[in-house]
Amino acid sequence: MRETTFHTTHWSVVLAARQPEQEAAAREALASLCSTYWYPLYVFIRHQGSTPGEAEDLTQEFFYRFIERDSLLKVTPTAGKFRSFLLACLKNFLANERERARAQRRGGGRVLFALDAGAAETRYLPEPTDDVTPEVLFERHWASAVLERALSRLKQEYARRGQHEVFAVLEVFLPGSEAGSSRAETAARLGMSAGAVDMAVCRLRQRYGAMLREEVAQTVSSPEDVEDEIRYLISVFKT
């Protein structure tokens, strides 16, 4: 992978957020980043026994402290993976929360981004409760978030080219998708030859792979870690 992929990563956004001259823009980008990855942290908190309301408040308070306070001053991206760093920060935050008095409502009414607690609970309720640790749930949903971001970008790319329907039909041929129509049925539906469908599916998979690598590249500290992280996330997602 080309080194230029790493000019703007989650780590660079975090590091820029502690520079006064870049603070406003970087922290806005960091808040956007948090709005993408909040659910894995919510699941972790929820699975430790917090009520839905407590989990929502704790998630918001964690991100408030993470972005607005001094947490960023101790960031060392040489640690490697952004997901591991964020989970370690969350565990430290929760340990401190248990030790301090809670005279004020968690979160203090500070809202950094829209957190749809109702939708979160709809997603959370079917989760396994007995044989899975909070760490495993966090890893699964982190992997899911990365894959969903890559898929969303791919869908948007096809839509910009006026190929929304083509994407909707071919999406079932992406890795991890449920089997849908056969190649022959797909060709008939799109008015294409079987060979053209094969070529279109090949291009779709190649673009998805490229976008997945770009997404993963933003969460690790070096290009050498990308392939290992992809293999890990796919293995977690399948468990």
Residue 132: DSSP 8-state: -
State the Cα–Cα distance between residues 117 and 54, nearest whole angstrom. Answer: 10
State the Cα–Cα distance between residues 19 and 156, nearest whole angstrom. Answer: 33
> Given this model, what pLDDT does residue 4 score?
37
Calculate the dihedral angle through the C-alpha atoms of 169, 174, 180, 185, rounding to the nearest 10 degrees. 50
6 in Cβ contact with 223 (< 8 Å): yes
> Given this model, what pLDDT does residue 222 score?
81
State the Cα–Cα distance between residues 79 and 91, nearest whole angstrom. Answer: 16
pLDDT tens digits in sequence order for the chain, 239 residues long = 334 343 446 666 666 655 655 556 656 666 767 777 888 999 999 988 888 888 888 888 888 777 665 555 555 555 568 888 888 888 988 888 776 644 444 445 555 556 666 777 777 777 766 678 889 889 999 998 899 999 999 999 999 999 999 999 999 999 877 666 788 889 999 999 999 999 999 999 999 999 999 989 888 878 888 999 999 988 887 66
Pick from 25, 33, 23, 11: nearest CA to 113: 33
> Given this model, what pLDDT does residue 23 score?
59
State the Cα–Cα distance between residues 86 and 89, nearest whole angstrom. Answer: 5
pTM for the full predicted model: 0.74
| DSSP-derived 3-state class of residue 64 | helix
> Given this model, what pLDDT does residue 208 score?
95
Tokens 């308070």 correspond to 61
Pick from 154, 149, 51: nearest CA to 106: 51
> Given this model, what pLDDT does residue 6 score?
37
> Given this model, what pLDDT does residue 209 score?
94
Calculate the dihedral angle through the C-alpha atoms of 159, 160, 161, 163, rounding to the nearest 10 degrees. 10
63 in Cβ contact with 112 (< 8 Å): yes
Hey, what are 56's tokens? Answer: 């929502």
Model pLDDT for residues 121-166, shown as the tens digit of each residue: 777 777 766 678 889 889 999 998 899 999 999 999 999 999 999 9
| DSSP-derived 3-state class of residue 5 | helix
Pick from 59, 81, 97: nearest CA to 14: 81
State the Cα–Cα distance between residues 127 and 92, nearest whole angstrom. Answer: 24
115 in Cβ contact with 106 (< 8 Å): no
